[in-house]
């Protein structure tokens, strides 16, 4: 059997992306909560726009990471399924790959 | 003869100044912590994420291609947010300065307006004598000069405000959206990387200090955000910079792991989070405490933050006061059962000592608790029976003391204080590594370590080795007096006379009792009004209590007020029976240590 995936590494890396998603989601919320009250009126508006924009940018980066994790899992499962010698293990491996976070 | 007297012009009114520099710095710091999270994200995307587990074929190639832009974007975003946050923090500092100048200018204007009104009154009616007219003319001229100077300062103030505003606005507009981030930061070299490459490889704090000083402000800022674990824990780097880095690392840990549901955290993540929470609690305890004389809230400095050190016991050191500038600095080393989770209690001890030092007249003090070694605790509590952990801890402590000396170019007063097993650790630091300290304090000491036969061996002069031992402190009785170690006696009781003799000659215990006369240290009064009638463990944990003899005396030592230290009689071993402690019969006192 010539397995074309490292069965332990895939869930670890996909899980890593999931964790990054959580970190970035949290960072996004934190950025969103940045207080602008201390700035002068000339600057306050620009800071508010910046904060709003960055909360969105960081959230998007997290979501892209999450999508990468999903794609990686899908790719690994497709490889397992496409090989007649490992296809029978696909359901079991899907459980191992299941998103934890 | 006609004489013209020009009244000074009315000074321009002060514009409203609606800003709060501290809040702006807080906003910038918040964004900076999040830029550090992005930096971690970039590190993941460029490192571990590459190992997909897809070993070959189109899917593996597709994955590799798909993460490239994510990594590039993460790199650019971390640089962009870091840059923006630096400008916001700098703007906040500008605002603090502008706020002070605004207050000064407003006061100056009020004075000028009053003075002009007074001059007007002096001219109505006009004085008739020549001398009075000359005086009025001179005073008007002087006042006019002041008004002109005020107007110059006001123009400069307004111009500086505008310049600072424009600077921060320009910095933010460089990174308002994804397109701008890509245009201005994609592929840009990280100044932290070149700075890190030039970092000295050894741990010589003097070399580290020179390297740090040689970096540009931009590089130092970049290092602080990109490598907070390095900047925050490297001896020789100034305390304020270490604290900034450790604050980022601590806030990042709280945010990152706090975002993971508790039931989904790994054991390591939970340990890191618990230790981060403990450090946060200590930080908050310091922030809510106040100086008893000035009434101002204390500002903590996080000198060490390493939540996964020592197999998860963690390492943390935090100061009350400014380690970079204080005239008197003390490093407080706790003992048995100490790990990062006990940071809060240690912070309280440091606060108490800082308050007492201030109350006793110290005007410039920094008090640090240092959980920077693997103290006997939890599963390795058995280590308290031997000196191994104290020796290893002593080496780390000596590095810390060397680091404090290296980061300061001035001559300051440094006191190393060890409590319980921490006193053995302090003694080993001094006898084994000879760091430069002025005073050593050993509290409730179970022994001064195998390399200290006398106070002189600690290298600061015997008159600068101070010992505080409550006469009923059980641990304070464990050190060897005369030629018999209590530990050997204990071994003899448990295993018989041969066992006791073997233990004695095998070096059982943690060294000599430093409160004994033979040791030659200065023993100070450290009794408690709630002292037990028999040796007990409760009296081992009262040394940092407010209104206690020991805290008052430690404050005097830390302040260098040696004449005000209340001396105590030494333990004396007549060899033919158990040792005498003259302090047992003395009535304890309650000196006020915080004015309450």
Q: pLDDT at residue B92 above 60?
A: yes
As a three-state string, the secondary structure of B333-353 is ECCCCCCHHHHHHHHHHHHHH
Share of chain B above pLDDT 70, in %: 94
Please list every residue in chain B whose beta carbon sits closer than 8 Å to the beta carbon of residue A52.
Answer: none
Looking at residue B369, what DSSP letter applies? E
CA distances from residue A6 to B52, B360, B487 in whole angstroms, order as listed? 8, 66, 56
Q: Indicate the pLDDT class of residue B176, thresholds 50, 70 and 90.
A: very high
Beta bridge partners of B417: B332, B441
Flag the least confident range among B10-19, B211-220, B230-239, B484-493. Answer: B484-493
CB B370 within 8 A of CB B304: yes
- Nearest residue, CB atoms, B18 vs list A25, A40, A46: A40
Output the pLDDT for position A77. 87
Q: Do A72 and B63 touch (CB under 8 A)?
A: yes
Rounded to the nearest 5°, which phi and psi values hold at B376? -60, 120
Q: pLDDT at residue B347 above 80?
A: yes
Q: pLDDT at residue B23 above 60?
A: yes
- Nearest residue, CB atoms, B172 vs list A4, A27, A47: A47
CA distance B106 to chain A (A): 18
Using CA atoms, how far apart are residues B376 and B313, in angstroms rounded to an integer? 10
Query: What is the ipTM metric for this complex?
Result: 0.90
Q: Do A30 and B33 touch (CB under 8 A)?
A: yes
Please list every residue in chain B whose beta carbon sits closer than 8 Å to the beta carbon of residue A49.
Answer: 176
Among chain A residues, the shortest Cα distance to B87 is held by: A47
Q: pLDDT at residue B502 above 90?
A: no
Q: pLDDT at residue A72 above 50?
A: yes
pLDDT (tens digit per residue) in A19-30:
999 999 999 999
For the residues B333-354, what does the mean pLDDT come to? 94
Please list every residue in chain B whose beta carbon sits closer than 8 Å to the beta carbon of residue A100.
Answer: 264
Q: Which residue has the tokens 């008739």?
A: B128
Q: pLDDT at residue B444 above 80?
A: yes
DSSP string, B82-142: HHHHHHHHHHHHHHHHHHHHHHHHHHHHHHHHHHHHHHHHHTSSPP-SHHHHHHHHHHHHH
User: Hey, how many other C-beta atoms are within 10 angstroms of the C-beta on B376?
Assistant: 23
For the residues B437-462, what does the mean pLDDT come to? 96
Q: pLDDT at residue B567 above 60?
A: yes
For the residues B48-69, what does the mean pLDDT come to? 87
CA distances from residue B286 to B294, B296, B318, B350, B534 in whole angstroms, order as listed? 15, 12, 9, 9, 35
Share of chain B above pLDDT 90, in %: 84
For the residues B485-491, what does the mean pLDDT come to? 58
For the residues B102-115, what does the mean pLDDT come to? 98
Average pLDDT, chain B: 93
What DSSP element (H or E) covers B42?
Answer: helix B21-46
For the residues B324-339, what does the mean pLDDT come to? 94
Please list every residue in chain A whose beta carbon sits closer than 8 Å to the beta carbon of residue B43.
Answer: none
For the residues B177-202, what does the mean pLDDT come to? 95
Using CA atoms, how far apart are residues A20 and B179, in angstroms rounded to an integer? 23
Q: pLDDT at residue B203 above 60?
A: yes
Q: Do A4 and B56 touch (CB under 8 A)?
A: yes
Q: pLDDT at residue B105 above 60?
A: yes
Q: Indicate the pLDDT class of residue B501, thresholds 50, 70 and 90.
A: low
For the residues B513-525, what does the mean pLDDT come to? 96
Q: Do B54 and A76 touch (CB under 8 A)?
A: yes
Q: Indicate the pLDDT class of residue B336, thresholds 50, 70 and 90.
A: confident
Do the bridges between strand B465-468 and strand B439-443 make them parallel or antiparallel, or are there none, so unpaired?
parallel
Q: pLDDT at residue B167 above 50?
A: yes
Please list every residue in chain B whose beta carbon sits closer than 8 Å to the beta carbon of residue A58.
Answer: 34, 38, 77
Q: Do A40 and B161 touch (CB under 8 A)?
A: yes
Among chain A residues, the shortest Cα distance to B89 is held by: A39
Q: Do B41 and A23 touch (CB under 8 A)?
A: yes
Q: Indicate the pLDDT class of residue A1, thresholds 50, 70 and 90.
A: very low
Q: Indicate the pLDDT class of residue B496, thresholds 50, 70 and 90.
A: low
pLDDT (tens digit per residue) in B266-303:
999 999 999 999 999 999 999 999 999 999 999 999 99
Q: Indicate the pLDDT class of residue B479, thresholds 50, 70 and 90.
A: confident
CA distance B319 to chain A (A): 27
Please list every residue in chain A whose beta carbon sits closer than 8 Å to the beta carbon of residue B31.
Answer: 31, 34, 54
Please list every residue in chain A whose beta carbon sits closer than 8 Å to the beta carbon of residue B60.
Answer: 4
Using CA atoms, how far apart are residues B253 and B273, in angstroms rounded to an integer? 7
Output the pLDDT for position B482. 66
Please list every residue in chain B whose beta carbon sits closer than 8 Å to the beta carbon of residue A86.
Answer: none
Using CA atoms, how far apart are residues B22 and B209, in angstroms rounded to an integer? 29
Q: pLDDT at residue B508 above 60?
A: no
CA distance B238 to chain A (A): 28
Q: Work out how many CB contacts closer than 8 A connect A with B.
A: 160
Q: Do A76 and B260 touch (CB under 8 A)?
A: no
Q: Testing the interface with A: which of B59, B66, B159 to mutate, by most A Cβ within 10 A?
A: B59
Using CA atoms, how far apart are residues B433 and B393, in angstroms rounded to an integer? 11
Please list every residue in chain B whose beta carbon sits closer than 8 Å to the beta carbon of residue A4.
Answer: 54-57, 60
Q: Do B255 and A4 touch (CB under 8 A)?
A: no
For the residues B508-514, what does the mean pLDDT come to? 84
Flag the least confident range among B211-215, B316-320, B471-475. Answer: B471-475
For the residues B31-52, what does the mean pLDDT come to? 93
Q: Indicate the pLDDT class of residue A2, thresholds 50, 70 and 90.
A: low
Using CA atoms, how far apart are residues B93 and B526, in angstroms rounded to an integer? 45
pLDDT (tens digit per residue) in B142-155:
999 999 999 999 99
Using CA atoms, how far apart are residues B556 and B357, in angstroms rounded to an integer? 7
Q: Do B24 and A65 touch (CB under 8 A)?
A: no
Using CA atoms, how far apart are residues B570 and B469, in angstroms rounded to an integer? 10
For the residues B547-557, what does the mean pLDDT come to? 98
Output the pLDDT for position B22. 96
CA distance A88 to chain B (A): 19
Q: Indicate the pLDDT class of residue B256, thresholds 50, 70 and 90.
A: very high
CA distances from residue B243 to B6, B412, B470 in whole angstroms, order as listed? 57, 20, 35
- Nearest residue, CB atoms, B165 vs list A43, A54, A79: A43
Output the pLDDT for position B8. 96
Q: Which residue has the tokens 């002069």?
A: B461
Among chain A residues, the shortest Cα distance to B253 is held by: A23
Output the pLDDT for position B55. 75
Output the pLDDT for position B338. 86
């Amino acid at each position: 059997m010539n397995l074309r995936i490292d069965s332990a590494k895939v869930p670890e890396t996909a899980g890593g992306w999931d964790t990054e998603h959580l970190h970035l989601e949290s960072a996004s919320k934190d950025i969103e909560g940045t207080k602008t009250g201390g700035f002068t009126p000339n600057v306050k508006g620009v800071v508010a726009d910046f904060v709003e924009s960055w909360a969105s940018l960081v959230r998007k980066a997290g979501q892209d990471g999450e999508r990468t994790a999903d794609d990686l899992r899908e790719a690994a499962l497709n490889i397992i399924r496409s090989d007649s010698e490992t296809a029978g293990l696909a359901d079991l491996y899907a459980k191992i790959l299941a998103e934890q976070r | 003869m006609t004489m013209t007297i020009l009244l000074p012009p009315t000074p321009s009114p002060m514009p409203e100044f609606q800003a709060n520099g501290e809040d702006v710095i807080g906003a910038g710091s918040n964004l900076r912590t999040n830029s550090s999270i992005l930096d971690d994200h970039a590190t993941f995307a460029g490192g571990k994420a590459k190992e997909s587990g897809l070993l070959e074929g189109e899917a593996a190639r597709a994955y590799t291609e798909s993460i490239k832009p994510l990594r590039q974007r993460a790199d650019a975003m971390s640089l962009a947010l870091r840059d923006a946050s630096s400008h916001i923090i700098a703007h906040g500092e500008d605002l603090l300065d502008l706020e002070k100048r605004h207050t000064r200018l407003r006061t100056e204007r009020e004075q000028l307006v009053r003075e002009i009104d007074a001059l007007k009154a002096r001219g109505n009616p006009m004085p008739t004598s020549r001398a009075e007219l000359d005086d009025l003319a001179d005073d008007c001229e002087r006042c006019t000069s002041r008004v002109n100077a005020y107007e110059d300062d006001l123009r400069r103030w307004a111009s500086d405000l505008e310049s600072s505003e424009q600077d921060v606005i320009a910095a933010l507009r460089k990174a308002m959206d994804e397109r701008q981030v890509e245009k201005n930061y994609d592929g840009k070299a990280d100044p932290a990387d070149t700075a890190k490459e030039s970092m000295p490889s050894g741990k010589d704090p003097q070399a580290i200090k020179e390297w740090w000083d040689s970096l540009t402000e931009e590089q130092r800022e970049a290092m602080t955000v990109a490598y907070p674990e390095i900047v925050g824990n490297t001896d020789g780097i100034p305390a304020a910079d270490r604290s900034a880095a450790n604050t980022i690392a601590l806030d990042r840990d709280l945010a990152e792991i706090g975002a993971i549901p508790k039931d989904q955290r790994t054991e390591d993540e939970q340990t890191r989070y618990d230790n981060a929470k403990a450090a946060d609690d200590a930080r908050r305890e310091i922030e809510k405490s106040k100086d008893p004389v000035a009434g101002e809230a204390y500002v903590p400095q996080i000198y060490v933050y390493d939540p996964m050190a020592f197999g998860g016991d963690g390492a943390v050191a935090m100061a009350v006061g400014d380690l970079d500038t204080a005239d008197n600095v003390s490093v407080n080393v706790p003992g048995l059962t100490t790990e990062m989770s006990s940071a809060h209690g240690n912070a309280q001890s440091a606060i108490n000592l800082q308050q007492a030092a201030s109350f006793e007249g110290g005007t410039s003090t920094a008090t640090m608790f240092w959980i920077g070694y693997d103290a006997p605790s939890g599963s390795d509590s058995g280590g308290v029976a031997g000196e191994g952990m104290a020796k290893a801890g002593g080496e780390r402590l000596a590095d810390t003391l060397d680091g404090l000396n290296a980061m300061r170019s001035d001559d300051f007063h440094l006191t190393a204080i060890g409590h319980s097993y921490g006193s053995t650790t302090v003694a080993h630091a001094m006898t084994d590594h000879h760091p430069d300290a002025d005073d050593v304090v050993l509290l409730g000491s179970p022994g001064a370590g195998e390399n200290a036969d006398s106070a002189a061996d600690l290298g600061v002069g015997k008159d600068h080795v101070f010992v505080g031992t409550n006469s009923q402190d059980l641990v304070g009785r464990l050190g060897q007096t005369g030629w018999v170690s209590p530990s050997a006696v204990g071994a003899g009781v448990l295993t018989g006379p041969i066992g006791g003799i073997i233990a004695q000659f095998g070096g059982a215990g943690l060294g000599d009792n430093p409160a004994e006369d033979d040791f030659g240290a200065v023993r100070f009064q450290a009794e408690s009004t709630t002292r037990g009638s028999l040796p007990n463990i409760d009296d081992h944990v009262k040394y940092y209590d407010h209104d206690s003899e020991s805290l008052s005396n430690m404050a005097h030592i830390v302040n260098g007020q040696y004449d005000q230290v209340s001396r105590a009689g030494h333990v004396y071993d007549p060899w033919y029976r158990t040792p005498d402690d003259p302090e047992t019969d003395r009535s304890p006192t309650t000196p006020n240590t915080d004015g309450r």
